[in-house]
Structure 1
Amino acid sequence: MSTPQKTAIPVEWAAVAAGSYHAPHDVLGPHPTSDAAGRTRTTIRARRPLAESVTAILADGTRIPLEHAAHGIWQGEHAGAPVPYRIATVYEDGTEQLKGDPYRHLPTVGELDLHLIGEGRHERLWEVLGAGAHLVDGEIGVAFAVWAPNAQAVRVVGDHNGWNGEGHAMRSMGSSGVWELFIPGVSPGTVYKYEILTPEDRWIVKADPMAQRTQVPPETASIVPFSAYSWKDGAWMTRRAATHAVAQPMSIYEVHLGSWRGGLGYREVADPLIAHVTETGFTHVEFMPLAEHPFGGSWGYQVSGYYAPTARFGNPDDLRYLIDRLHQAGIGVLLDWVPGHFPKDEFALARFDGRPVYEHPDPRRGEHQDWGTLIFDYGRPEVRGFLVANALYWFEEFHVDGLRVDAVASMLYLDYSRREGEWEPNVHGGRENLEAIRFLQEVNATAYRTHPGVVMIAEESTSFPGVTARTDQAGLGFGFKWNMGWMNDSLQYISRDPMYRAHHEGEMTFSFVYAFGENYLLPISHDEVVHGKGSLLSKMPGDHAHKLANVRAYLAYMWGHPGKNLLFMGQEFGQIAEWSESRPLDWWLLDQPSHAQLQRFVGAMNGVYRGTAPLWERDGDSTRFRRLGAPQWDPNVIAFERRDLHGGRVIVISNFAGVERPNLELDVPVAGVWEEILNTDAVEYGGAGIGNYGRVAAHASEDHGIPRTMITLPPLATLWLRHRSGTRD
C-alpha cells in the first residue's frame, strides 16, 4: 500500500466537505485509476472531519490507512479494482466508529426509472422515490431519493446523523431533478428530513414528499417505513376484480375517524366499526382523508403527506389491519383523496426546493385565495406522475376499493372562485383547465386499467359534461359523480313545513329529469351537517317524533331514488347536535328508544336494499324507471317504479304530507300482488304502524284497463312495494 502524492486540492472539495456539492460521489468513495504500468489501483476518499485517524477496512479484512488531504477529507489507495469496504474512524476521545460508506455505492435509481419519472408515467413511484430499506452490495441500509429540480444541493438529515447533513449530501441524477443517496446502517423507524440548498443560496428543511410514514402532528418529520403486514383479504380482492360497482348495491357510511368515537386508533376502531356497519347494513365505509395533514381542523383536506397515512391513529400497518378486517367482514373501503390543492406549510410541498415545484408558478393558476392553499401544476409531467402514482399507491399498498376525489369543480375551471382579471384563459380562450382535465382522465383510466373493480368518485357540483363518461369518449372517466343538485333541492324541500310542501314538489322531483345523464351517487355528507347547517334531524320540521318520521321517509326516498347512497356518521341514529371534529358522536342517544329505532330502521332498509336488485342494478338506465301517478294528483305524494334486468319490479311511494292518505288510488305498471317490503311508519321503527297489512293487490280498472291499486299511505312516510305475481315484461 502507498499513499498517493499530494497534489493541488480541487476547488470543489470545500463544497463537498460542507455538504453543498451536487456530485459528492465524484470526490468521495472509491475511484479506480491506473499506475504507470497500467495496473488498476483504487483511491478511497472519505469525509471525516475532527477524526484522529481513518482506516478503510476491505471485505477481506485488509486495513488501508487514509491520510488527511484537506477540508476533513481523508484518502488512501490500494491495489486492484474497487471492492466492498467499511470506514473505521477514531476520534480524539479514543472512540472508534465503524460504518459503511454511502459514497461507494452505485445509484439505486435506474435510468428507466428516471425516464419514467420525467415522463410522469412511473406507476410505482413510491418504490423509487422516498426512503426505503434495501440490501445493496452486501450492506443493509436505506436508499433516499427525492425530486428537487431547482436545488443546488440536497442533504439527508435525521436521527442517524444528529441532524447534521454535511456528511450525507445526495448526488444529482442530472436533468431529471432527482437526488439520490444510499446510507448503510440506517434502519426503518429512523426519523429524517431533507436539507435543500435553494437557487438563492439558502438552506431550507423539508419533509419527504414521498414519505410513507410520518411523526405524529404537530411534529413534521418523515420516518423510514417498513411493512411486515400479511393480507388476509384475498377472497374479497378476487371478488372485487370480477365486479363493476355501477351494477352493485352501494350504501356508504362516511366516517371522520377522529370523531367517530374518539380516542381510537386504526386497530382499536376495527371491532366497534365493523360491528356498527354490519348492524346498520352499509356496504362501504368512506373515510374522510387519512393522508397526513398538519391541521386537524382541516378534517384532512389540506394534505402535507400524500403517501403517508396520518400518524394520529397509528402506523401504516395499523391502517392495513383496519382495511383488511373490514374486507374480511364484507365491507368495502373508500378513501377521500385530495389532489386539488395543498397547504402552504413551510415544511411540506410549498416551494419545495425554494421555487414553485408542485404548485403552478402563476398565482392565477397556482393559488386558491379563498382556501389559502396552493394548486398543483397539472401540466408538469413529474407533478402529474406524483398524483397518478399516489392514487395507485392507495389501491396497491392499502387495498382501498375506491377514491372519492375532492373538489373536482375547483380543478376543472380556471375561474373557479375568481373575479374578472384574476384568472387566465386556456389556449383556446376558455375557462376550462385543460391540464387538470387531462390529469383526471389519466388517473381514472390508469386506476381502472391497473386495478379492476375499484371505483373513482367525483365530488363535482357543476354541469360539466361527461364526468362519468369513458375517457375514450372524451369523458373524465369517473365511476360516479356526487349528485349535488339532488342533495341541495331535496334538503330544501324536506326542511319545509309539510303544509307548504305541496307548492314545492319540483324540488323533490326535478332530479328525475337528469338522473340518468351520469352515474350518480346521492350524498348526505359531512358538509351538510356542519358550519351552522345543523344535523339531518335538526333540519326537519315539527316536534321530535315528526322529525324522526321525516328522516325515515327522506332516507327511504333517497335509497329508492336512482343512484347510490352516502350518509354521514351519526345521521343513522338521529344525531341532534351539529357535527364537530373535536368531539365524538352522541352515542348516548341510542339509550333513547326513538333513536335506537331509527338506527334499527336504517339497518333494515339497507338489508332490504341490498337484496332488492331493482333498486341498484340499473341506476343509470332511464328505461328501468317510471314515474307513477294516481287518478287524482297529489303534490305531496311522489311515486315511481324501479326495474331490474330480470323482470323484478319495485314501487317507491312517499307521502310527505303530515296527514294520512287512506284508500289512495294509484295506477301501477302491472296487475297482481305487491308486497310491502319496507314501511317507514312501522312500529318497530318508531312509527304508528299505519300500512297495508303487508301487501296490496292491483287489478285492471274497468274504465281504461290500466292496473290500479288502493293503498293507504301513512303521514310522513315512504313505502317500498315489490311485485310478487301477475304479468311481467
Structure 2
Amino acid sequence: MALRDLKLPESSSPSAGSATAVDPSDRGRLLAGSHHDPHALLGAHPVPGGFLFRALRPFARSVSVVIGGEPMALTSEGDGLFSAVLPLKAVPAYTLRVAYEEAEYEVEDPYRFLPALGEFDLHLISEGRHEQLWKALGAEPMTHQGVAGTRFTVWAPNAQGVRVAGDFTYWDGTQYPMRSLGSSGVWELFLPGIGEGARYKFEITSRYGHRFLKADPMARRAEVPPDTASIVTASHYTWGDDAWMAHRGDVPVHEAPFSVYEVHLPSWRPGLTYRELAEQLPPYVKEMGFTHVELMPVAQHPFSGSWGYQVTGFYAPAARLGSPDDFRYFVDACHRAGIGVIMDWVPAHFPKDDWALARFDGDPLYEPGNAQRAEHPDWGTYEFDYGRTEVRNFLVANAVYWCEEFHIDGLRVDAVASMLYLDYSRDSGQWAPNVFGGNEDLAAKAFLQEMNATVYRRVPGVVTIAEESTAWDGVTRPTEGGGLGFGLKWNMGWMHDSLQYISKEPVHRKYHHNEMTFSMMYAYSENYVLPISHDEVVHGKQALVSKMPGDWWQRRADHRAYLGFMWAHPGKQLLFMGQEFAQGAEWSEAHGPEWWLLDPGYCAQGDHRGVQDLVRDLNAVYGRTPALWQRDTTPDGFRWVIGDAADDNVFAFLRFDAEGAPLLAVSNFSPVVRHDYRLAVPDDVPAWFEVLNTDAARYGGGGVVRTAPVEPEDGAIRITLPPLATVWLTP
C-alpha cells in the first residue's frame, strides 16, 4: 500500500503546522550517513493531526510541499532538514519545490516510494542463487509507482549507512541516504528523475565511522580512466546474430574445428573504437581462417597500458573503446562474419584500488577476512572469498552476464591453478590445509563447478576454457562425475615442452626429442587447447620467431615448421596476434602488431607475408579436414608413424576422422633435406597427395615440394623431407 492511500480522520483545512523535532540520535545518524532506515524519518508519515512531511535538502534556501499546484512551505530544522505537519486525511500525489540561491526546482520525493526490489530477489541474493544478479543490484533505470527514475541497490552488509552520490549531487551523498533491506545486507533507494548517463558512486560509512566513495561493483558502465565513477546505463541494442546463436552449439566444441586468434583489442589497431574494430577485425580473422577470436579482458580496468587482468569493473566493458552497446555491436559483427567470440574472464583476484572492491564496506567483503589468505602472493592483489555465498553468486552471475547480455561464445578462465591450491606461490607457514589436511581450496573447486554447471545450463553453445597449469584431475570432466566441468583446458605442458625443443639448435634437438613426444602420453586426459598465447611472447620471452635458433631464414623456417606441427597435433590451437606473420619484436601496447612488416615495399613475398599466407592455408586445410579436429579427444584419432627418430629430428603421425580417413603429418626439424625417407602408411590408401608444405617458396621456403602423388610400396611411402619443414599428406 502506497503512502498516498493511508487515511486519517477528518481534519481542518490544510495549513502547515509545526513538526515534532526528530530524535537527536536519529538526526545525528541521518546527517552522518549512518542511518539504516532514512525512509522512517523522511517523506510523509501519519501523526496526530495529519501527516508529517520531512525532507533533507542540503544547501536549500527553502522547501515546499506542492499539492495540486499549491505550495505549502516546510520549516527549516537546520542542517538541510525541512519539516511540517499538514492536516490531511491522506497523502495525496505531491512534489517538492526546492529553492536554492541560484535556482528553484520541482522534484519528486524519493522517500515517498516503496522499495523497488522484491522479496524474491532478496531471497535469491541471500541464498546465493540469483543467476541474473545484475538485474537486482546496481543502477537500474525503471518506472516505479508510475514515475521514471533509477533504482540504486548495493550489497554492503558491514556498513553503518550507505548514500548515493553523483554528478547530480556534486558528489555529496548527504541528500540521498539509502535504506537497509534487513538481513540481506542490501541497501536500496529509488531516485526519480535520474536516468541514463548519470555518474554515481556509493558513499559508505563503515562500522568504524569512516566514510568513503566506492564505485558500484555491479556497474554496467564506467567512466574512461583515470576517472572512476559508475554510469547509469541500459541497453538499446538490437542484435542481428539470430542465425549464429541458433546454431553455434550444433556440434560439440571438442568435435568441431576450433582455431583461435588471441587479441588485445586496444592495441590490435591502436586508437580504434569497438565500432571501428568491428569493421576491421572480423574480416581479417575470417580471411585468416580462424574460427574464433579470443579477447584479452574486456572488463573495466584502470591501467590502459596493461593487458586488462586487474579488473575493477566486472560487469562493465572497458570504457576506453566505447559504450556497452558499442561492444555488443562488435560481438554482433563477429557473429555475422561467422566468428565466435571468447573473452578472458578473471575470477581469481582483484586489485586493491581504494575506490573499487577492496574492503568494500570498510571490512573484508569480497576478499577473505584472513589477511594472509586474502593476499595474492604474485600480483599484489586480493583473492576472492569463494566460501562466501554472496561472493560466489557475484562471480557465477558475472559469467552468465557476459554470455547472456553480450552473446559471448566462450569464457577463458584466467589463473585457475592459483584458485585451486591453498599453497599456490606460498611457502610453508603461509597457508593452512583444508579440513582433510590437503592443499586444495575446496571452496574454489565448488565455485568453479557451480560456475561451469550454471553457464552450460543457461547458455547452450558456450564453452568454458581453463588456463590451468597443473595436473589437477578432471578439469574438463563433467561436474556430475566430480570434475570441474570446463569444456577445454590450455595444454601448458605441451606449450612449455615444445617451445623448449624448438629453441634448441638442431644439432642438440635429438637430446630433447621426448619433449615433443611426451604430450601424447597425456593428450587424452583432458580436452586440450594448444596455446601460443600472449604469455609466451612478452616480458623478455621473445616473439615466437625470435625464440628459434640460427639465421633469419632458419628462424622463419623453424617458425613455419612449428606451426605446421602445432596445427596437426591433437588439440585445438590458439595463436597470439603478430605471431601469424612472424613478428620478431615483443608485443607493445603502444603500437601493437608491427603491421608495417607486411608492407610490399618492405618485405618480399616469402618473408612476413609468406608466414601469414601459411597460417591462412593452415586454417583453410584444417577447416576442411575433419581428421585434424573431429577426434581431438579420443586416442583412435591418432597414431605414431615415427616417434623415435631422434637422430633425424623427424616426427610423423597419422590423424583420423570419424570415418577413418587419415591425414599424415611429417615434421623435419633438421636443416638438411632427407631424401627417400620411408614412412609406414595404411594399406588401404592407393596414393598420397601433398596438401601443405611449409617449405613452399610462396611461404618463404626453399621450394622442396612434391606436386605428384606418391604411391606406397610394401606398406610404406618414400618421400623427400624438406629442411626445417612440416608436410601434410592426404589420400
Q: TM-score if structure 2 supplies the norm length?
A: 0.94
* 404 and 50 in structure 1: CA distance in 2 versus 1, 3 angstrom threshold: closer
Task: Report SS of the residue matched to 1:307.
Answer: strand
- Alpha-carbon distance, 1:29 to partner: 1.3
Q: How does 1:279-428 map to 2 (within 5 A)?
A: 279-428=287-436
CA deviation string 1:301-351 (max 9, x = no partner): 111110011111111111111111011001110000100011111110000
In 2, distance between residues paired with 1:8 and 1:680? 87
One-letter amino acid of the structure 2 residue matched with residue 574 of structure 1: A
Task: Report SS of the residue matched to 2:720.
Answer: strand
1:48 to 57, 75, 82: 57
1:692 to 690, 703, 706: 706
Alignment root-mean-square deviation, CA = 1.7
Task: Report SS of the residue matched to 1:558.
Answer: helix
In 1, distance between residues paired with 2:126 and 2:645? 67
Q: How does 1:5-84 map to 2 (within 5 A)?
A: 6-11=19-24, 12-32=26-46, 42-58=51-67, 60-61=68-69, 63-69=71-77, 71=79, 72-77=81-86, 79-84=88-93
In 2, distance between residues paired with 1:289 and 1:513? 33
In 1, distance between residues paired with 2:617 and 2:33? 65
Q: How does 1:66-145 map to 2 (within 5 A)?
A: 66-69=74-77, 71=79, 72-77=81-86, 79-91=88-100, 95-145=103-153
List alignment gaps of at least 5 residues for structure 1.
Answer: 36-40, 702-706, 724-729
In 1, distance between residues paired with 2:60 and 2:508? 87
One-letter amino acid of the structure 1 residue matched with residue 711 of structure 2: A
| Larger deviation, residues 563-572 vs 232-241 | 232-241
1:674 to 667, 688, 696: 688
Contact 2:643–2:651 (8 Å) recurs in 1: no
1:226 to 223, 226, 234: 234
Q: Is the counterpart of residue 575 in structure 1 residue 589 in structure 2? A: no
* 78 and 657 in structure 1: CA distance in 2 versus 1, 3 angstrom threshold: farther
CA deviation string 1:681-715 (max 9, x = no partner): 1122111221222532224x2xxxxx211111111
| Larger deviation, residues 608-617 vs 24-33 | 24-33
1:216 to 224, 230, 234: 224
One-letter amino acid of the structure 2 residue matched with residue 210 of structure 1: M
* 78 and 625 in structure 1: CA distance in 2 versus 1, 3 angstrom threshold: farther
* 96 and 202 in structure 1: CA distance in 2 versus 1, 3 angstrom threshold: same
CA deviation string 1:127-147 (max 9, x = no partner): 111112111112111111111
CA deviation string 1:468-498 (max 9, x = no partner): 0000000000001100000000001111111
* 394 and 49 in structure 1: CA distance in 2 versus 1, 3 angstrom threshold: closer
In 1, distance between residues paired with 2:659 and 2:90? 75
In 2, distance between residues paired with 1:286 and 1:687? 30
One-letter amino acid of the structure 1 residue matched with residue 82 of structure 2: I
Counterpart of 2:4 in structure 1 is none
1:550 to 551, 558, 570: 558
One-letter amino acid of the structure 2 residue matched with residue 428 of structure 1: F
Contact 1:664–1:713 (8 Å) recurs in 2: yes
In 1, distance between residues paired with 2:75 and 2:644? 103
| Larger deviation, residues 576-585 vs 5-14 | 5-14
CA deviation string 1:81-136 (max 9, x = no partner): 4343211123456x321111111111111111111111111111111111121111
- Alpha-carbon distance, 1:630 to partner: 9.2
Counterpart of 1:726 in structure 2 is none
In 1, distance between residues paired with 2:510 and 2:678? 18
Q: Is the counterpart of residue 249 in structure 1 residue 262 in structure 2? A: no
- Alpha-carbon distance, 1:367 to partner: 0.8
In 1, distance between residues paired with 2:333 and 2:629? 26
Contact 2:205–2:211 (8 Å) recurs in 1: yes
In 1, distance between residues paired with 2:588 and 2:553? 25
- Alpha-carbon distance, 1:651 to partner: 1.1
Task: Report SS of the residue matched to 2:504.
Answer: coil
* 632 and 577 in structure 1: CA distance in 2 versus 1, 3 angstrom threshold: closer
Counterpart of 2:637 in structure 1 is 624
Q: Is the counterpart of residue 606 in structure 1 residue 615 in structure 2? A: no
Contact 1:213–1:224 (8 Å) recurs in 2: yes
Q: How does 1:151-300 map to 2 (within 5 A)?
A: 151-300=159-308
In 2, distance between residues paired with 1:587 and 1:193? 41
Task: Report SS of the residue matched to 1:533.
Answer: coil
| Larger deviation, residues 317-326 vs 262-271 | 262-271
Contact 1:279–1:603 (8 Å) recurs in 2: yes
Contact 1:466–1:518 (8 Å) recurs in 2: yes
CA deviation string 1:402-444 (max 9, x = no partner): 0100000000000000000000111111100000000000000
* 529 and 116 in structure 1: CA distance in 2 versus 1, 3 angstrom threshold: same
* 313 and 155 in structure 1: CA distance in 2 versus 1, 3 angstrom threshold: same
List alignment gaps of at least 5 residues for structure 2.
Answer: 1-13
**Alignment coverage as a number of residue pairs:** 710
In 1, distance between residues paired with 2:698 and 2:101? 82
One-letter amino acid of the structure 1 residue matched with residue 518 of structure 2: F
In 2, distance between residues paired with 1:49 and 1:274? 52
One-letter amino acid of the structure 2 residue matched with residue 482 of structure 1: W
Counterpart of 2:8 in structure 1 is none
CA deviation string 1:521-561 (max 9, x = no partner): 00000111111111001011111111111111100110100
2:608 to 574, 587, 595: 595
Task: Report SS of the residue matched to 1:161.
Answer: coil
- Alpha-carbon distance, 1:298 to partner: 3.5
Task: Report SS of the residue matched to 1:696.
Answer: coil
One-letter amino acid of the structure 1 residue matched with residue 630 of structure 2: E
One-letter amino acid of the structure 2 residue matched with residue 663 of structure 1: D
| Larger deviation, residues 24-33 vs 276-285 | 24-33
One-letter amino acid of the structure 2 residue matched with residue 430 of structure 1: G
- Alpha-carbon distance, 1:632 to partner: 8.0
- Alpha-carbon distance, 1:513 to partner: 0.6
- Alpha-carbon distance, 1:50 to partner: 4.7
Identity among equivalent pairs (%): 56
Contact 1:336–1:403 (8 Å) recurs in 2: yes
CA deviation string 1:242-278 (max 9, x = no partner): 3321111011000111221211111111222123212
